[in-house]
């Protein structure tokens, strides 16, 4: 059994760390909340993997309070703590059940927050509007709550504020929230990107199309660009990359194993930029994922995890867990044009602790791509501009 401590700003953030490190079979042993530590370490979770159900562990009793913060924490605890069986032993948790419970608790939390007059200090209706907007855009309720708490802390003189006109206060709250969101968004600067960039991600999310857009953008900036397609199936994926290479007048190598990949990388040593396309792998295809991961181990450079902006939170979490072995260095969100629920972008950033790199917003190559920015994400979530 491996036991490790995880930290986070709140229980949700610490829990994501647990899930990302230990995966679906992690068992939460203890959760502690402290106020005498930096904010990002306020919640500490002790979790175990390969947990021995025969081992008796005393469960801390939690006082369920009507206070929203306490009930949130208690709710999170009840979701993450395993239930004792009839013999009093703790059983390993079932991932799917937890996901379902987490989902229903989150929904309940959202309703609770909206219906209860909100947290202490959130007395202005502008907070409720913003909370509703964040939840409607599918920002996770814990993250939404956390963002609004920080927003409230930023507004020093709320009493004076109440004397101002309603619309002024709403705009001010929105601007303060936008500031809070923007400070949390890290972006991988184009000038700091590694020479070799690999795109990985689930099937059909737009990796090959995005690779072509990126190739065109880098070439447009005067770089010599070459392409590699890792196609261990020897099926369709390579043909698409070859066609883009032909249209963009860039050399393409199709490789099927580590040896061929290494040879292709050496062959492209003189290029300013090497972009590696991989075929999509479903997270259910564990063998295929592991195989692709092994092949890519020889690559030194950037790895962009490509995900569609409209991805559901549960799927987002599962993908982050299963693609973690690939060592992603940034998140790239596609198909912004196909959703209005941009909350996954923010959720993904928080859960994965990776910077953003690009957004794509349409099928057109090379036009439908943009450099991700904190301002753009805040606008997508809050309609600022």
Residue 262 has which token pair?
């290494």
How many residues at the interface with ligand GTP, by CB under 6 A? 19
| Stretch of 25-33, 79-87, 121-129, 331-339 contacting ligand GTP, by CB under 6 A | 331-339
Q: Measured between alpha carbons, how far is 109 from 113 in angstroms, rounded to an integer?
A: 6
Contact between 135 and ligand GTP by CB under 6 A: the answer reads no
Among 54, 330, 58, 57, residue whose Cα is nearest residue 199: 330
Contact between 280 and ligand GTP by CB under 6 A: the answer reads yes
* Closer Cβ to ligand GTP, 168 or 233, answer by number: 233
Q: Measured between alpha carbons, how far is 21 from 278 in angstroms, rounded to an integer?
A: 24
Contact between 310 and ligand GTP by CB under 6 A: the answer reads no
Closest approach of ligand GTP to the CB of residue 353, in Å: 24
Contact between 176 and ligand GTP by CB under 6 A: the answer reads no
| DSSP-assigned states of every residue in 37-60 | S-GGGSEEEEEEES--TTS--PPP
Q: Measured between alpha carbons, how far is 234 from 115 in angstroms, rounded to an integer?
A: 55
Closest approach of ligand GTP to the CB of residue 326, in Å: 14
Contact between 124 and ligand GTP by CB under 6 A: the answer reads no
* Closer Cβ to ligand GTP, 62 or 338, answer by number: 338
Q: Which of residues 203-222 bind Mg ion (CB under 5 A)?
A: 207-208
For residue 335, the partner it binds in Mg ion, ligand GTP, none, with Cβ less than 5 to 8 A by kind, is ligand GTP
Pairing verdict, β 273-278 and 196-200: parallel
| Stretch of 34-42, 198-206, 227-235, 340-348 contacting ligand GTP, by CB under 6 A | 198-206
Contact between 360 and ligand GTP by CB under 6 A: the answer reads yes
* Closer Cβ to ligand GTP, 120 or 367, answer by number: 367
For residue 124, the partner it binds in ligand GTP, Mg ion, none, with Cβ less than 5 to 8 A by kind, is none
- For residue 230, the surrounding DSSP H or E stretch is strand 225-230
Residue 87 has which token pair?
């013999």
Q: Measured between alpha carbons, how far is 345 from 333 in angstroms, rounded to an integer?
A: 7
Q: In this chain, which of 291, 337, 370, 379 binds ligand GTP, going by CB under 6 A?
A: 337
| DSSP-assigned states of every residue in 63-105 | ---SSHHHHHHHHHHHHHSPPB-TTSPBPPPPHHHHHHHHHHH
| Stretch of 54-62, 153-161, 175-183, 355-363 contacting ligand GTP, by CB under 6 A | 355-363
Q: At what angle do helices 166-184 and 374-382 cross, to 10 degrees?
A: 140
CB 377 within 8 A of CB 181: yes
* Closer Cβ to ligand GTP, 15 or 225, answer by number: 225
| Stretch of 153-161, 242-250, 323-331, 361-369 contacting ligand GTP, by CB under 6 A | 361-369
Contact between 368 and ligand GTP by CB under 6 A: the answer reads yes
Sign of CA dihedral 304, 309, 311, 312: positive
| Stretch of 18-26, 199-207, 293-301, 345-353 contacting ligand GTP, by CB under 6 A | 199-207
For residue 206, the partner it binds in Mg ion, ligand GTP, none, with Cβ less than 5 to 8 A by kind, is ligand GTP
Residue 126 has which token pair?
């502008």
For residue 123, the partner it binds in Mg ion, ligand GTP, none, with Cβ less than 5 to 8 A by kind, is none
Residue 362 has which token pair?
């349409």
Closest approach of Mg ion to the CB of residue 268, in Å: 19
Among 302, 359, 304, 379, residue whose Cα is nearest residue 133: 379
3-state DSSP assignment of residue 138: coil
Residues shown for the chain: 385
Contact between 279 and ligand GTP by CB under 6 A: the answer reads yes
Residues at the interface with ligand GTP (CB under 6 A)? 203-209, 237, 279-280, 334-335, 337-338, 360-363, 368
Residues that bind Mg ion (CB under 5 A): 207-208, 237
């Amino acid at each position: 059994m491996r036991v490790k401590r995880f930290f986070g700003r709140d229980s949700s953030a610490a829990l994501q760390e647990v899930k990302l490190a230990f995966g679906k079979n992690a068992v939460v042993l203890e959760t502690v909340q402290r106020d005498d530590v930096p904010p990002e370490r306020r919640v500490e979770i002790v979790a175990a993997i390969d947990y021995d159900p025969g081992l008796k562990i005393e469960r801390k009793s939690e006082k369920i309070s009507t206070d929203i913060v306490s009930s949130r924490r208690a709710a999170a605890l009840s979701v993450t703590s395993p239930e004792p069986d009839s013999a009093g032993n703790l059983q390993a948790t079932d991932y799917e059940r937890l996901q379902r419970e987490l989902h229903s608790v989150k929904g309940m939390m959202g309703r609770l927050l909206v219906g209860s007059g909100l947290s202490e200090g959130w007395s202005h209706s502008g907070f409720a509007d913003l909370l509703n907007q964040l939840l409607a855009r599918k920002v996770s309720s814990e993250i939404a709550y956390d963002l609004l708490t920080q927003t409230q802390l930023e507004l020093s003189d709320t009493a004076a504020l109440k004397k101002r006109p309603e619309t002024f206060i709403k705009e001010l709250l929105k601007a303060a929230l936008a500031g809070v969101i923007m400070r949390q968004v890290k972006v991988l600067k184009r000038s700091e990107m590694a020479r070799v960039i690999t795109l990985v991600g689930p099937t059909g999310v737009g990796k090959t199309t995005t690779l072509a857009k990126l190739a065109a953008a880098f070439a447009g900036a005067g770089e010599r660009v070459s392409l590699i397609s890792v196609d261990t199936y020897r099926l369709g994926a390579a043909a698409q990359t070859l066609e883009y290479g032909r249209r963009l007048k860039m050399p393409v190598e199709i490789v099927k194993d580590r040896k061929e990949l290494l040879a292709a990388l050496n062959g492209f040593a003189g290029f300013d930029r090497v972009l590696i396309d991989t075929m999509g792998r479903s997270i259910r295809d564990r063998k295929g994922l592991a195989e692709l991961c092994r092949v890519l181990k020889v690559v030194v450079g950037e790895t962009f995890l490509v995900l569609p902006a409209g991805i559901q939170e549960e799927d987002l979490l599962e993908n982050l867990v299963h693609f973690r072995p690939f060592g992603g260095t940034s998140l790239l969100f596609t198909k912004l044009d196909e959703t209005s629920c941009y909350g996954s972008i923010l959720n993904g950033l928080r859960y994965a602790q990776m910077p953003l790199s690009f957004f794509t917003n349409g099928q057109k190559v090379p036009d439908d791509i943009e450099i991700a920015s904190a301002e753009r994400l805040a606008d997508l979530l809050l309609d600022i501009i």
